[in-house]
Amino acid sequence: MKTACIQTTATADIDENLSNVTRAIREAAKNGARLISTPENTDYIRRYAKDKLEISGDAQTHKPIAHYAALAKELGVWLLIGSLGVKISEDRLANRQHLFAPDGRLVDTYDKIHMFDVTLSRAEFYKESSDYKPGERAVVAPLEGGLTLGMSICYDVRFAYLYRALAQAGANILSVPAAFTVPTGQAHWETLLRARAIETGCYVIAPAQCGEHEGGRKTYGYSMIISPWGEVLAQAGSEQSIIYADITLDEIEKARHSIPALTHDREFKIEG
């Protein structure tokens, strides 16, 4: 399966982002991609909660959901929308990933479990849990040809147990759409993604936001597709772009046969 990761710079305007991302998805499909993925916050990046809530709809009314379902059907591709801000109450959102099948069917969704509540400096700090409700379920979704997708979003990548659980539940591709900050991206992005691939014998597809957004927020970029052996098969830079790589069951089976770590769990006690 040829896969594509779309790297984009989301604005505060949903319609502008729909247009830009749709154009990139069409290009990826034209170039033969069967599985096309987009970053976290594909619909918008806004600074303030009130603005996010004002422009977001719920699962039935949020404009990008129906749009991308129709686009997947029109193009006949698997379309993984990294995340959208879906309204779940008057004052809360879900940071929700959507997987659409080539017939336009919504296969499954995943709500980001781990909230990005961090302080990087006096000038740069985040509290995602103020706006978003954490998810409570891990998701493995079927694709085709024996390929299965373990879904995650951005900050989840720091929690290795989630990916081990996904792989042991049958996932052989892991999605990590992101809007990584620049300092953490420079320090940790590639290392974390390659580690998740190596630990699980899974492909990792990680489409990312890049550039500067509303309120001066900056994201790192450098989208990646990584093999089950931890090799970087494709990598973007810091600008908007599309990257491609082929995913095969053979490479998954080869990596897991060589190092069957997923079957070597042992119980232990912590003392001291």
Active-site residue set: 40, 112, 154
Alpha-carbon 60 to chain mean position: 22
Q: Is the CB of residue 30 less than 8 Å from the CB of residue 232?
A: no
Which amino acid, 9? T
Residue 230 backbone class (left: φ over 0; alpha: ψ -120 to 50; beta: rest): left
What distance, in Å, lies between the first and last C-alpha atoms of the chain?
49
Give the tokens for residue 102: 């080539």
| Closest by Cα among 11, 20, 37 to 245 | 37
Kindly report the length of the chain: 272
Number of other residues whose CB lies within 10 A of the CB of residue 29: 19
Max CA-CA distance within the chain?
Answer: 59
> Which residues have C-beta within 8 Å of that of residue 69, sequence separation ≥ 6?
100, 104, 105, 106
